[in-house]
Structure 1
Amino acid sequence: MTTLYARELEIAQLAVQRAAILTKRVFLEKAKGTVSKDDASPVTIGDFGAQALIIAALRAHFPHDAIVAEEEAAQLRADAGLRDLIWGLVRETKLEDVAAEGLLGGGVRDVEDLMEVLDRGRSEGGRIGRVWTIDPIDGTKGFLRGGQYAIALALLEDGDVKVGVLGCPNLPVDDAAPLAAEVGAEGEDGMGVVFSAVVGQGATSRPLGAGGLAEGKRIQMREVKEMAGASFCESVESGHSNQSEAAQIAQKLGITKPSVRMDSQAKYGSIARGAGDIYLRLPTSKTYQEKIWDHAAGDLIVREAGGQVTDTKGQRLDFGVGRTLASNSGVIAAPAAVHGRVLEVVQEVLGLN
């Protein structure tokens, strides 16, 4: 019997794995420390290159699906040097396993096709039909310093997340490794993991490789028996989450461990496999809207691992509004058994109850 979304899951995992090969090569070969996305920085090169590889795979297998992605081709049309550089990387990046590479198929044919592929990510999303969301490099600054970043890919169907895949090149393969800000230092062995989930089928992790898919294993959120022993993680950037309010929430919950700050949806993957417990992303302004590609894959992976994900009002994240989570404010991810308590304290600190 064929498992629902089995083909989508396999292609998504292989596409993310191939994109990870490109991003790791970009990090190793290009100048480090550049933070601008307005020039030929590692971030710019990695974003465009990884997105092109993923969309090419989706085009080959699911040509009628819509795609919501972060980048578009306008910048490359205006910069021939950058365009040719990215085309060279895309052309040369392949999985080491010939059968796996052949399964992905399609590829990018030439420079003009590269432009066409990138512009396929301009869908506005919505609540009808199949829509893929892509974040080719989630965690810009983490990527630049050799820390945490993620390649994120998710399939939405009528606004609901059905498949989620996160490639985290700098997270430990070992699911039992403790959550720590310093994990993923450049050059460490045993790094690179792919998290994935299909709705109703649980969540898995597997080593991130350069060929076919490694064997995966089921992951589950850790049971939190006492809040004092819980691990708490949040964004590195203060502009992404209100860290002072998060500290108040931790204190009221009785959490005694210092919060661990890391970039990207690696936080979702980390708590899903029990390396951490609670992830908060608190609103920094009343007008800011989260992008759907920053949360879709992680949301499903945590929920399929036994967690609950809502906004600060207790509402499920709504991925059917468009390119942003326009109807949500903030994110709370925690084991299902304690999510209600965490939400209660969040609302108390934020003055929402």
Structure 2
Amino acid sequence: MARYADDLSLAHMLADTADSISMARFRALDLHVEAKPDLTPVTDADTAVEKAVRATLARTRPRDGVLGEEYGASAPPAGAGSRQWVIDPIDGTKNFVRGVPIWATLISLMDGDTPVVGLVSAPALGRRWWAATGLGAYAGKHQAAASPIRVSGVGRLADASFCYSSLHGWEETGRLDPMLDIIRTVWRSRAYGDFYGYMLVAEGAVDAMVEPELSLWDLAALIPIVTEAGGTFTDLAGRPGPGGGSAIASNGKLHQDLLDRLG
């Protein structure tokens, strides 16, 4: 089961590089921000991080494909396998731009359609989360200061701490009413947003996190961390994996109830 241990170690090296670049630009007075065609922001830190990660992968894993938010997909050479690294250089760019420290670099390795390595590095929070198939899930400042993490045991929505990104997306997809019903039902609800809610689920601090619309680079790194921590991660139709473009992440005990309400 240590099949992906070397890839996980490489992910930590990639995150070290990403952290050094992104932290140097966080709250920089000369930070350059542009609007992408979908009107979401992109900074010089986003592009610099992705370029650096891609350069290292080109040297260390030349037979693997790469997909990044800013520069798209680069296909592996002919005859290579089905492995692909998926990179979100800065998840939470709007936070990054405003000086809010809740942002992270997301690094994942997919083997075929399955994310098998996931690492989330939030250097402004001084925290990192990681997992690989069969190796468990961990969190800490770095590999040498790590603790295993585990989802909660809460079994009822009425007792649950529930997390979501925002209500706007649920309104756009016609699911605002069931979302509001869940918020009225649960013990506590908070909109932590982006990667952070999922990591809180993996740590057992939050019991469920949901989002209606996501891209592959938003999802891939999160799935191994939540599932290796004992949780369940599906799309809104209940399908596992990152292909559905939506997410319900939970401690497992609450999952079917959430699917029934949101699916």
Residue from 150, 158, 176 that aligns with 1:244: 176
Please tell me the residue identity of whatever aligns with 2:258: V
Q: Matched residues in 2 for 1:122 and 1:144: separation?
A: 28
Q: 1:35 to 1:233 in 2, by over 3 A?
A: farther
Confirm whether residue 272 of structure 1 aligns to residue 188 of structure 2. Answer: no
Please tell me the residue identity of whatever aligns with 1:47: D
The answer for the alignment partner of 1:181 in structure 2 is none
Secondary structure at 1:262's aligned position in 2?
coil
Aligned-residue CA RMSD (Å): 2.7
Contact 1:51 1:71 in 2 (8 A): yes
Confirm whether residue 44 of structure 1 aligns to residue 50 of structure 2. Answer: no
Q: CA deviation at 1:36?
A: 3.3
Contact 1:281 1:332 in 2 (8 A): yes
Please tell me the residue identity of whatever aligns with 2:130: S
Contact 1:48 1:136 in 2 (8 A): yes
Q: Matched residues in 2 for 1:155 and 1:241: separation?
A: 32
Confirm whether residue 336 of structure 1 aligns to residue 257 of structure 2. Answer: no
Please tell me the residue identity of whatever aligns with 2:180: A
Please tell me the residue identity of whatever aligns with 2:28: E
Secondary structure at 1:247's aligned position in 2?
helix
The answer for the alignment partner of 1:26 in structure 2 is 25
Q: CA deviation at 1:292?
A: 0.8
Q: CA deviation at 1:149?
A: 1.3
Q: CA deviation at 1:198?
A: 0.6
Secondary structure at 1:29's aligned position in 2?
coil
Q: Matched residues in 2 for 1:48 and 1:344: separation?
A: 40
The answer for the alignment partner of 1:150 in structure 2 is 104
Q: CA deviation at 1:150?
A: 1.5
The answer for the alignment partner of 1:255 in structure 2 is 186
Q: 1:239 to 1:249 in 2, by over 3 A?
A: same
Confirm whether residue 168 of structure 1 aligns to residue 100 of structure 2. Answer: no
In the TM superposition, what are the counterparts of 1:186-265 in structure 2 within 5 Å? 191-208=125-142, 213-236=143-166, 238-239=168-169, 244-245=176-177, 246-251=179-184, 254-257=185-188, 259-265=189-195
Please tell me the residue identity of whatever aligns with 1:17: D
- Per-residue Cα deviation, 1:15-67 (whole angstroms, up to 9, x for no partner): 112201211111132347956358xxx94211111112211222221111000
Confirm whether residue 295 of structure 1 aligns to residue 227 of structure 2. Answer: no
Taking structure 2 as the reference length, the TM-score comes to: 0.86
Q: 1:309 to 1:239 in 2, by over 3 A?
A: same
Secondary structure at 1:55's aligned position in 2?
helix
Percentage identity across paired residues of the two chains = 29
Question: Which stretch shifts more, 224-233 or 63-72?
Answer: 224-233
Q: CA deviation at 1:249?
A: 2.5
Q: 1:45 to 1:240 in 2, by over 3 A?
A: farther
Q: CA deviation at 1:163?
A: 0.6
Taking structure 1 as the reference length, the TM-score comes to: 0.65
The answer for the alignment partner of 1:140 in structure 2 is 93
Contact 1:166 1:298 in 2 (8 A): yes
Q: Matched residues in 2 for 1:33 and 1:341: separation?
A: 44
Secondary structure at 1:312's aligned position in 2?
coil
Contact 1:19 1:53 in 2 (8 A): yes
Q: 1:166 to 1:65 in 2, by over 3 A?
A: same
Secondary structure at 1:265's aligned position in 2?
helix
Secondary structure at 2:236's aligned position in 1?
coil
Q: CA deviation at 1:129?
A: 0.8
- Per-residue Cα deviation, 1:46-98 (whole angstroms, up to 9, x for no partner): 111111221122222111100011123xxxxxxxxxxxxxxxxxxxxxxxxxx
In the TM superposition, what are the counterparts of 1:97-116 in structure 2 within 5 Å? none
Q: Unpaired runs of 5+ in structure 1?
A: 73-118, 171-190, 284-289, 319-324, 348-353
Larger CA Rg, structure 1 vs 2: 1
Q: Matched residues in 1 for 2:221 and 2:69: separation?
A: 15
Contact 1:11 1:57 in 2 (8 A): no
Q: Matched residues in 2 for 1:229 and 1:32: separation?
A: 43
Query: 1 or 2, which has the higher strand percentage?
Result: 2
